[in-house]
Amino acid sequence: DVKVTQSSRYLVKRTGEKVFLECVQDMDHENMFWYRQDPGLGLRLIYFSYDVKMKEKGDIPEGYSVSREKKERFSLILESASTNQTSMYLCASSLRGNSGANVLTFGAGSRLTVL
């Protein structure tokens, strides 16, 4: 089974701090994604990457950046955390290509609270 591991399950940060959320997958998937989950809004795509060093903006990229230096690792960065970034963050990965049938496999999530 594909495993997607998010190293930090719960984080509490202060406004203005720089925050790193790390995600590692172990099945050689080319595509990786960062979603944000909020009650009543479902999941919304922040950024995705289809290859090492490649990144594309999703639907809500403002206030975030990403890094993909290795195929298995995809990091989400909050340069200056704000209270409206308090949320659950979910990482996912999938195989290469644009087949609509490709399944996204999700990590357990990182719940971030910004005070």
Partner 1 sequence: AQSVTQLGSHVSVSEGALVLLRCNYSSSVPPYLFWYVQYPNQGLQLLLKYTSAATLVKGINGFEAEFKKSETSFHLTKPSAHMSDAAEYFCAVSVPIQGAQKLVFGQGTRLTINP
Q: Which two tokens stand for residue 4?
A: 């997607």
What is the smallest separation between the CB atom of 115 and partner 1, expressed in angstroms? 21
Q: Which is nearer to partner 1, 18 or 44 (CB)?
A: 44
Closest contact distance (angstroms) between CB of 74 and partner 1 is: 13
H-helix or E-strand spanning residue 79: none
For position 11 contacting partner 1 by CB under 8 A, the verdict is no
Using the rule CB under 8 A, which residue among 19, 21, 31, 68 binds partner 1? 31
The torsion angles phi and psi of 83, rounded to 5 degrees, stand at: -60, -30
DSSP class of 102: P
Q: E strand or H helix at 30, and its extent?
A: none
By CB under 8 A, what part of segment 64-93 binds partner 1? 90, 92
